[in-house]
Amino acid sequence: MATQPTIVFFPEGAYGPTNNCVGIADVLAERGARVVFVVEESFAGTLEAKGFEESRMRLKPAPEVEEEPGQFWKDFIRDTAPEFRKTTFEQIETLTKPIWEELIDGAKYVDERLRAIFEDVDPDAIVQDNVVAFPAVPASGRPWARVMSCNPLELPDPDLPPAFSGLASNDRDGWAEFRRRYDAAHSDLHTDFDDFCREREGPPLPDRQFMYESDYLNLYLYPKECDYQRTVEPSPTWHRLDSSVRATDEPFALPESLVGDGPIIYLSLGSLGSADVALMTRLIELLGRTSNRVIVSMGPQHDRLQLADNMVGAEFLPQTSILPLVDLVVTHGGNNTVTECFHFGKPMVVLPLFWDQYDNAQRVSELDFGVRLQSYAFEDAHLYDAIDRLLKGADRRERMLGIAARLQAQPGTQRAADLIWRLAEAKQPLHR
């Protein structure tokens, strides 16, 4: 192999997985690797702006109008936002399954294009951060790594709560019923996608899962201090990254209007959750009544939001540069944001909306690293009480700062880069 390995990163077409891959890819590029990102056309130019090559593809036919980055999922979530108000049990049929269907349709649509990309780029290793299988990856014959940047419950264990349920890990009430309803809703979809993967020279899908485990290298993202205690040991190719925080965000300085005394709160519901204008408006109004200083990640509907006098915000913000400056985070519970909060030692108020956000909210709450609220049913006092308790919790703050010191001393991006480089060189499974 040449001294400069070529490594393809293939993240899901959303900001969370893409940002996670950017952090790791940046380290590899600094070490001399050639890095190529496989990106949706709506993301065209965004990875080039960070110094990476792009190979572009589509997950569905091109629209008649130009797209914004991640428009595929922005549109989907906008149209399905009313489903956020349902319980996780109710979401199985009306939100979770349609998301799987959209993802699987995309995997089928892009398969030929992926094969052409891998043949053209000829990578030494492929790194993908997706929740569904793309048979073109293993069928390429090249070593590949799976990055799991969702809650670790995505890797199932019979003695842990089912993924996407938001159920407690110390109380089995509801586990069996959720699994029964989930399996009933998805069994035909799993059979159909498994048939497609086999037809396209991919391995069979694991039981009840839509994503392969790599025979070479698997990485998951969660701090040791909040990881789950398993009864089924993952295969030896699984490695935990306690955090994976990119160093590519631009610096952020507090604007003059926020310079002063008192706590600083960061409000971010992610690029998808922030599209819910009604929820964002309510949170802005409630936080605007406090004496706290507030930084707001306003998201794609920023032009429909009016900030209070104690706030600053923008559509896009350099989150990893902001988190060190704040005292508390109000978040949707996306895995990247949660693990970044641990990396910087920040307690969380978590308002989950869908997918693994419920699992992260529950885990943060049951380990007392934050407070889980019902995103649409909380009373004003619930939010104020949660903020007050978290800001005054000295013991919790010290505990989280200790975790942050450990994570910052052992950057997950560096460890991931070490493993991926070794994979590109050895082309053999890497055991922990």
Return the pLDDT at 16. Answer: 79
Specify the amino acid at residue 273: G
In a domain, 315, yes or no: yes
How many other CB atoms sit within 10 Å of the CB of residue 285?
A: 12
Which pair of tokens denotes residue 427?
A: 């082309």
Return the pLDDT at 43. Answer: 80
Going by C-beta distance under 8 Å and a sequence separation of 6 or more, which residues neighbour residue 59? 13, 40, 72, 105, 106, 107, 109, 110
Return the pLDDT at 67. Answer: 64
Containing H/E element for 348? strand 348-350
Q: If you average pLDDT over residues 253-263, what whole number do you get? A: 91
27 and 88 inside one domain: yes
In a domain, 251, yes or no: no
Tens digits of residue pLDDT in 61-81: 877 777 665 566 566 666 777
55 and 190 inside one domain: yes
Measured distance CA(7)–CA(189) in Å, rounded: 32
| CATH code of residue 236 | 3.40.50.2000
Per-residue confidence band for 341, with pLDDT thresholds at 50, 70 and 90: very high
Tens digits of residue pLDDT in 3-26: 799 999 999 877 778 888 999 999
Tens digits of residue pLDDT in 88-99: 999 999 999 999
In a domain, 299, yes or no: yes
In a domain, 38, yes or no: yes
Q: What percent of the chain has pLDDT above 90?
A: 81
Counted residue by residue, the chain has a size of 432
Q: What percent of the chain has pLDDT above 70?
A: 97
Number of domain units in the chain? 2
Domain interval for residue 50: 6-242+411-425
Angle at alpha carbon of residue 219, lines to 128 and 116, rounded to 5°: 15
Return the pLDDT at 126. Answer: 98
In a domain, 340, yes or no: yes
User: The dihedral of CA 126, 131, 134, 139: what is its sign?
Assistant: positive
130 and 88 inside one domain: yes
96 and 210 inside one domain: yes
In a domain, 274, yes or no: yes
In a domain, 249, yes or no: no
Measured distance CA(149)–CA(219) in Å, rounded: 8
Q: With 90 as the cut, is the pLDDT of residue 216 above it?
A: yes
Measured distance CA(325)–CA(263) in Å, rounded: 10
What per-residue string of b and e applies to 206-216 under the rule 16 or more CB within 10 Å gives b? eeebbbbbbeb
Mean pLDDT across the chain, nearest whole number?
A: 93
What per-residue string of b and e applies to 302-331 under the rule 16 or more CB within 10 Å gives b? beebebeebbebeeebebbebbebbbbbbb
In a domain, 250, yes or no: no
Cβ-contact 125, 5 below 8 angstroms:
yes
Return the pLDDT at 72. Answer: 61
Containing H/E element for 57? strand 53-57
105 and 236 inside one domain: yes
Q: What 3 state SS string does 73-85 have?
A: HHHHHHHHHHHHH
198 and 282 inside one domain: no
220 and 300 inside one domain: no
Global pTM? 0.93
How many other CB atoms sit within 10 Å of the CB of residue 175?
A: 18
Which pair of tokens denotes residue 340?
A: 């970044």
Q: If you average pLDDT over residues 169-194, what whole number do you get? A: 97
Q: If you average pLDDT over residues 129-147, what whole number do you get? A: 97
324 and 195 inside one domain: no
Helices (H), 71-174: 71-80, 88-91, 97-121, 136-139
36 and 141 inside one domain: yes
238 and 265 inside one domain: no
Return the pLDDT at 77. Answer: 61
The DSSP 8-state label assigned to residue 361 in this structure reads: H
Return the pLDDT at 73. Answer: 58
Measured distance CA(153)–CA(150) in Å, rounded: 8
Tens digits of residue pLDDT in 286-303: 999 999 999 999 988 788
76 and 88 inside one domain: yes
Per-residue confidence band for 1, with pLDDT thresholds at 50, 70 and 90: very low
Return the pLDDT at 40. Answer: 87
Q: With 60 as the cut, is the pLDDT of residue 2 above it?
A: no
SS3 assignment, position 354: coil
128 and 219 inside one domain: yes
Measured distance CA(1)–CA(137) in Å, rounded: 20
